[in-house]
Amino acid sequence: MKIGIIGAGKLGTTLARRAVNAGHDVVIAGRPGAAQTALVVEVMIPGATALPVTDWEDLDVAILAVPFSIALTIPMPLQPGTVVIDPTNHWAPVDGDLSDVAHRSTSEALAARHPQLQWVKSLNQLGYHDLEDETIGIAERPAMGIASDSAEAAHTASVLIASLGLDPVVIGPLSTGTLLEPGGPAFGTTLSNAELSTLLHPAEQAERSRGDVAEHVG
């Protein structure tokens, strides 16, 4: 897959390294005003290419790896229909108290600004330091929630996320992304697919378990 990452900070470089190691074609752009992005990419992410967003072509997925308050302000000159994964979280001490996220996820706020893109909430429930763990995908595959209003975008994100050594779990529409954000039950948790599914959909999982038991008994 061809992956474009906006943001060459800790999360952006971590995801870029995992994507390169998984065999993806990775281009990365610093956020507006960021200096020395090309040097950072050359030194920290061998195999990736530093390239301005305006020069990106034929992307399969874009990842917006910048603080949420910055994500709200930067232009998104991507082709309409591009799948964009949003791993941002709203942190009031950093971003301020923003009306954009009153009773909705950061991804919903970004989708309202850029409705021509296909938005996916994911890659935010674990920190960059968790994703740096080289045993991910080898010793274990932590579950990663995915929320999107587009089944196609959710599938594309699932394929990418699985290739990064994580276990994708589609949880519902974009509005359910709040379950993955700070204050939500899944935020900051390292869980298996079954554990995350049970945490986010306890009634559904309980009903499924009862059905399995009944089938076994019958």
Mean pLDDT of 41-68: 94
Grade residue 98 by pLDDT with cuts at 50, 70 and 90.
low
Neighbours of 128 (CB within 10 A): 16
Query: Which residues, 6+ apart, have CB-to-CB distance to 75 below 8 Å?
Result: 32, 53
pLDDT for the residue numbered 10: 92
d(CA 210, CA 215): 9
Mean pLDDT of 145-159: 98
Where do the structural domains in the chain lie, given as residue ranges? 2-189
Lowest mean pLDDT segment, chosen from 54-68, 84-98, 124-138, 147-161: 84-98
Neighbours of 79 (CB within 10 A): 12
Mean pLDDT of 41-51: 93
For residues 120 and 105, the model is more confident at: 120
Whether residue 77 contacts residue 26, with contact meaning beta carbons closer than 8 Å, is answered with no
Quick one: fold of 2-189? Rossmann fold (3.40.50)
Name beta bridge partners: 118.
83
- Containing H/E element for 63? strand 61-64
Q: How many CA atoms lie within 13 A of 197 on its CB side?
A: 13
User: If you average pLDDT over every residue of the chain, what do you get?
Assistant: 86
Residue 209 three-state SS: helix
Grade residue 201 by pLDDT with cuts at 50, 70 and 90.
confident
Copy the structure tokens of residue 189.
């948790």
Q: Which of 140, 138, 171 minimizes the C-alpha distance to 157?
A: 171
Copy the structure tokens of residue 85.
């994964």
